[in-house]
């Protein structure tokens, strides 16, 4: 049963990594792909915690979920500010900003 979860984790993490590196145009899509990767890591921690019958994996998953929420809030705030400045969410144009 845990092998099924780990296969799911590999697929989710791969989809998130592929989406992050192949889609370099839209900041929101990149942010969502990073969130999928963090949620797949949480699934690893929770599966390991249930398999070993230990609460440390669940606590670590809660910590990662908190960090992911903070990352999302900061990323969305930067996204809104960048869109107000440039009227686009093209990631390749971010390197042109100089202050």
The reported pLDDT for the residue numbered 99 is: 57
Burial (Cβ within 10 Å: 0-12, 13-18, ≥19) of residue 58: middle
Which residue from 56, 13, 7, 57 is spatially nearest to 35, judged by alpha carbons? 13
Query: What is the pLDDT, as a whole number, of residue 39?
Result: 92
pLDDT for the residue 97: 62
Averages of pLDDT over runs of 10 residues in the chain (99 residues) are 88 94 84 92 92 92 92 89 83 67
Give the pLDDT of residue 79.
Answer: 85
Domains of the chain, earliest start first? 2-86 (1.10.287.3510)
């Amino acid at each position: 049963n845990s092998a099924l979860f780990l296969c799911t984790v590999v697929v989710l993490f791969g989809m998130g990594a592929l989406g992050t590196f192949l889609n370099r145009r839209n900041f929101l899509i990149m942010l969502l792909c990073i969130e999928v990767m963090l949620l797949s890591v949480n699934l690893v921690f929770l599966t390991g915690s249930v398999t070993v019958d230990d609460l440390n994996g669940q606590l670590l998953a809660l910590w990662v979920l908190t960090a992911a929420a903070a990352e999302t809030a900061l990323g969305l705030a930067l996204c809104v500010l960048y869109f107000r400045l440039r009227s686009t969410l093209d990631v390749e144009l971010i390197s042109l900003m100089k202050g």
